[in-house]
A and B are shown apart, each in its own frame.
Chain A
Amino acid sequence: MLDLSRVQKELMDCNRDKDISGISVELRGDDLSRLFGTISGPIATPYEGGTFRIDIHLTDEYPFEPPKMQFMTKVWHPNISSQNGAICLDILKDQWSPALTIKTALLSLQALLSAPEPDDPQDAVVAQQYLRDYPTFVGTARYWTETFAKRASVGIEEKVQKLVEMGFPEDLVRKSLDKVGGDENMALEKLCSG
């Protein structure tokens, strides 16, 4: 069983200083096991000015098992898959400990944005670019931030709600919005074309 009281305490703790930390966690619905986190792109990195959403899934074994985290916002980073947002970070795997929290994990993701580890990559293509052609990497990462992390951050929940009210199932809506980088019209087109 998921330790609900702990998750509730974590949510409160995390959102208490979200203005300072640039990190927040919200519920996706009524279910405490489905959350999404938000981190702001660190200053003086190609991610500056971006707001990155992270899908968080807590299994029944949490806090013994790490939270499953995946970037919903597309991001160009050696340790994050440019395809599906999967993250390569030790504390989300074997270095996880119940002494850590969702907040510390999100803080680690923020630190990862500041300090990529290209020698332990999740996305080999990005890592290669980072190591061989750093200026192009910075350009691409900045472009992705501009394109995906700024637009998508504007009221995505309202877009979801709007499309759900049109009669589309929520998970499909989220997937479509995610695929098109948060563009409501493109998502609608995608949903209509099935």
Chain B
Amino acid sequence: MENDKKPNNVVDDEMEKWDINLSIDVGEEWSNYRDDEVMQQHNAIQAVEAGKLPYVGDKEPLSALAAEYQSGSPVLLEKIKVLGQNYAAIRRTRGDGNCFFRCFMFSYLEHIMESQDKTEVDRIKENVEQCKKTLQGLGYADFTFEDFFTLFLDQVNDVLQGNETSISHDELVSRSRDQSVSDYVVMFFRFVTSGEIRRRSEFFEPFIMGLSNTTVEKFCKASVEPMGEESDHVHITALSDTLGVPIRVMYLDRSSSDSGTVSINHHDFIPAISDPPVATNSDSVSVVEPFITLLYRPGHYDILYPK
């Protein structure tokens, strides 16, 4: 299911759903079909996917990406070459609709592990506390989200070294592949993303209308909160804003510029800062450099490592 054969993973997902429906219709009574049977089929498909790639894969050299397109589009091969000037490695994630959130989880925790940036940890904890208040204000019962919040904060604490519960990089990799950690963290992100979109519904409404012609409320219920729903600009903007973490996305697609030169489009999601820093120097107009870089191919996100 890689993009060299099919242009769009979204299309693949659609086709899978279509297959399921098809097999139900053939020669069976409607009323004999039960939700759990449909779910089982869905789970079976996911299990096949799981066999191909863990939630978060190993770090691979960028040449592994080029290898995927050996007999594919020359434009893409050229672009990967350009990408190789600044990026050294890729870490793939499973295409199960949660890839953006899993990329973000791993990249963020790995960054904290490597930088041991306690200031950043304190900062994000404050944001998480705000997110909690946002959800409470929106009428979410505490018990629906508290476990997910706790588990995320546990991971942030555990990647800081020198504590009893500190973990190694290997353990971080294995946790990110462990459903009981990985899915909880994904769900934490889905909660805070949904909370941010609802809190600033006036801001997000036009984007959501353009994307899916639906209300903010319905969008959050149908496209943010359920597991496996893919992320778009709206999700990324909201997550980046609410947690205050900048994200860079490199776009690898077949588009080419008119001038004939090959370049790669990218977009930096820079959080809108609501509380400006207390101490400001006159020359503090610093450019925010995202420490999370993701590679986007239509319908899917992976993690990129700069040189």
**Interface on A for B, CB 8 Å cutoff?**
3, 6, 9-10, 13, 64-66, 68-70, 81-84, 86-89, 92-101, 121-125
Query: Would you call A93 and B38 a contact (CB within 8 A)?
Result: yes
For the complex, give the distance between the alpha carbons of A13 and B140 in Å: 12
Bound complex: CA of A100 vs CA of B30, how far in Å? 27
Nearest-Cβ distance from residue A183 to partner chain B, whole angstroms: 24
CB within 8 A of B30: which of A87, A96, A122?
A: A122
The answer to whether B221 and A97 have CB atoms under 8 Å apart is yes
Identify which of residues 268-301 in chain B touch chain A, using a CB-to-CB cut-off of 8 Å.
none
Q: Which 6 A-B pairs have the closest CB atoms?
A: A97-B225, A9-B143, A97-B226, A81-B31, A99-B225, A86-B34
Chain B residues near A81 (CB-CB < 8 A): 31
Establish whether residues B35 and A86, one from each chain, have CB atoms under 8 Å apart when the complex forms: yes
Is B31 touching A82 in the complex (CB atoms < 8 A)? yes
Q: Which residue of A lies closest to B225 (CB)?
A: A97
Bound complex: CA of A125 vs CA of B31, how far in Å? 9
Chain A residues lying within 8 Å of B42, measured Cβ to Cβ, are 94
Which residues of the other chain, B, contact A13 by a CB distance below 8 angstroms? 141, 143
Supply 17 A–B pairs (Cβ within 8 Å), ascending by A.
A3-B147, A10-B143, A13-B143, A86-B35, A87-B35, A93-B39, A94-B42, A95-B226, A96-B226, A97-B190, A98-B187, A98-B225, A99-B140, A101-B141, A101-B144, A121-B30, A122-B30
For the complex formed, measure the closest distance between the CB of A98 and the CB atoms of chain B, giving whole angstroms: 5
Of all chain A residues, which has the CB nearest B222? A95
Residues in chain A near residue B144, CB distance under 8 A: 98-101
A148 to B225, CA, bound (A): 36
Residues of B within 8 A of A98 (CB): 144, 148, 187, 225, 227
How far is B183's CA from A98's CA once the two chains are assembled, in angstroms?
10
With a cutoff of 8 Å between Cβ atoms, the chain B residues found around residue A83 in the complex are 31-32
Q: Total A-B residue pairs with C-beta atoms closer than 8 Å?
A: 71
Which residues of B have CB within 8 Å of A70?
34
Which residue of B is nearest A90, CB measured?
Answer: B222
Does chain A have a CB within 8 A of B19?
no
Interface residues in B, total, Cβ within 8 A: 28
A64 pairs with B143, CB closer than 8 A: no
Cα–Cα distance between A100 and B141 once the two chains are bound (Å) = 10
Within 8 Å of chain A (Cβ to Cβ): is B242?
no
Residues of chain B with a CB closer than 8 A to A122's CB: 30-31
In the complex, the answer to whether B35 meets A68 with C-beta atoms within 8 Å is yes
Cβ–Cβ < 8 Å partners of B227 in chain A? 64, 97-98
Interface residues of B in 100-119 (CB under 8 A from A): none
Is there contact, CB below 8 Å, between B147 and A6?
yes
Q: Contacts A6-B147, A13-B143 known; A86 to B222 CB distance under 8 Å?
A: no
Inside 8 A of B32's CB, which chain A residues have their CB?
Answer: 83
Instruction: Please name all residues of chain A whose beta carbon is closer than 8 Å to the beta carbon of B39 when the two chains form the complex.
Output: 65-66, 93
Instruction: Name the residue on A nearest B34 (C-beta).
Output: A86
Q: Which residues of A contact B183 (CB under 8 A)?
A: 64
Chain B 17-38: CB-based contact to A (< 8 A → 1; otherwise 0): 0000000000000111111101
Q: Tell whether, in the assembled complex, residue B30 and residue A124 are in contact, meaning their CB atoms are under 8 Å apart.
A: yes
CA distance A66 to B40 in the complex (A): 12
Closest CB-CB distance, B56 to chain A, in whole Å?
Answer: 18
Task: Note all chain B residues with C-beta closer than 8 A to A66.
Answer: 35, 39
| Shortest CB distance A131–B (Å) | 15
Query: Which residues of chain A have C-beta atoms less than 8 A from B35's C-beta?
Result: 66, 68-69, 86-89, 92-93
Q: Which of B222-272 contact A (CB under 8 A)?
A: 222, 225-228
> In chain A, what residue has the closest Cβ to B191?
A99
Bound Cα distance from A70 to B143, whole angstroms: 25
